[in-house]
Structure 1
Amino acid sequence: MAHANTVLINALRRTANKLSSGTSYQWGHMGSCNCGNLAQELTLLSKAEIHEFAMAGRGDWREQVEEFCPASGLPMDLLIAEMLKNGLTTTDLQHLEKLSDRKILAGIPSEIRSKMKYNSREDVILYLSTWANLLEDELLEAAPSLESLLKWEEPIPIPEDILL
């Protein structure tokens, strides 16, 4: 599962919001599909640029991710590497394209989850939002509370030369 961080959480939320607002969505287009829309947020590339990079590569997102090689120099591999720098894993990208991560799906009520389609704008929005919430919860659980940061178990000694 992705490494929880604010950059990724915000990108997931922006992607969901843009899809809710009617941004281009076409599951069969490498730049405006599930991964393509998130890639736009994480890389600041346009859907046309992402699609062009993908067409120079090897197949759909799943195939491109399976054959990902950060040393290849191929534009799509560089794009995927940039997405990975923001906390994603290649498995996350494969799951995103099919809306198939069990941990994310567990956060969606079963009556909705059972009817979800990987190429439905509304289902992608729900998946992205649920994922962002899950990562945010993980981030908050991992962060020490302010109270614990301010509470000292024993005093910190001050060196005598500082007091002089």
Structure 2
Amino acid sequence: MNMAKISLKLIEAFRKTVKKLKNNAPYQWGHMGACNCGNLAQELTQLTKAEIHQFAMQKSGDWNDQLIDYCPTSGYPMDLMISKMTEAGLTIDELKHLERLSDPKILQKIPFERREKMEKNRKEDVILYMETWADILENEWLSQNPVTLEEISNKNIPSKVLA
């Protein structure tokens, strides 16, 4: 399975989403704008949870259903929003996994005892999943773009500043 196209923008979006969730941003798994994908979508699209929810209600189904039915040329606001997320580097499969916290590549980095107790609709588990994913992306980015610690502080690379 392909991993996201790695970019500092995507890593930063994960880090900001995690920070907001840790600081009590609204989280509700059954709400299209405040669930796992909804919280990341807020960061990547700069839409509010209410706007995302409103867009989602124009079609039927949860995030998974809408990702299955995704058509980049439909003109539906939800499909345009999903397009923004894929343009940021995410794949449709990764978004489906995010909603269910089910990507094997991410889960294998979480200790077994913790991984076995994870639930798709528990905020702490969403935070752990997104933090782990951001770490994977960041490590891959750094392996492709070697930089020194001095360069990181001088360039203010968001992934290291937000970590």
TM-score interval for Structure 1 and Structure 2 normalised by the shorter chain: 0.7 to 0.9
Residue in structure 1 matched with residue 114 of structure 2 by the alignment: 112
Residue in structure 2 matched with residue 25 of structure 1 by the alignment: 27
Q: 1:142 to 1:119 in 2, by over 3 A?
A: same
Q: AA paired with 1:130?
A: T
In structure 1, the gaps of 5 or more residues are: 147-164
Q: Report the 3-state secondary structure (helix = DSSP H, G, I; strand = E; otherwise coil) of the residue aligned with 2:132.
A: helix
CA distance in 2: counterparts of 1:25 and 1:98, whole angstroms: 15
CA distance in 1: counterparts of 2:118 and 2:109, whole angstroms: 13
CA distance in 1: counterparts of 2:146 and 2:102, whole angstroms: 31
1:73 to 72, 75, 79: 75
Q: Cα RMSD over matched residues?
A: 1.0
1:61 to 56, 60, 63: 63
Please, what TM-score do these two structures have when normalized by structure 1? 0.87
Residue in structure 2 matched with residue 82 of structure 1 by the alignment: 84
Residue in structure 2 matched with residue 92 of structure 1 by the alignment: 94
In structure 2, the gaps of 5 or more residues are: 149-163
CA distance in 2: counterparts of 1:145 and 1:118, whole angstroms: 35
Residue in structure 1 matched with residue 156 of structure 2 by the alignment: none
Cα displacement (A) at 1:54:
0.2
Alignment coverage as a number of residue pairs: 146
CA distance in 1: counterparts of 2:30 and 2:71, whole angstroms: 23
Q: Report the 3-state secondary structure (helix = DSSP H, G, I; strand = E; otherwise coil) of the residue aligned with 1:45.
A: coil
Structure of greater Rg: 1
Residue in structure 2 matched with residue 123 of structure 1 by the alignment: 125
Residue in structure 2 matched with residue 133 of structure 1 by the alignment: 135
CA distance in 2: counterparts of 1:9 and 1:45, whole angstroms: 18
Cα displacement (A) at 1:144:
4.6
Q: Report the 3-state secondary structure (helix = DSSP H, G, I; strand = E; otherwise coil) of the residue aligned with 2:121.
A: coil
1:5 to 1, 4, 7: 7
Cα displacement (A) at 1:118:
0.4
**4+ residue runs of structure 1 moved beyond 6 angstroms?**
none
Q: Report the 3-state secondary structure (helix = DSSP H, G, I; strand = E; otherwise coil) of the residue aligned with 1:42.
A: helix
CA offset digits 1:39-66 (Å, max 9, x no partner) = 0000000000000000001310001001
Residue in structure 2 matched with residue 101 of structure 1 by the alignment: 103
CA offset digits 1:50-98 (Å, max 9, x no partner) = 0000000131000100111010000000000001110000001000000
Q: Report the 3-state secondary structure (helix = DSSP H, G, I; strand = E; otherwise coil) of the residue aligned with 2:97.
A: helix
CA offset digits 1:97-141 (Å, max 9, x no partner) = 000000011111111000000000000000000000000011111
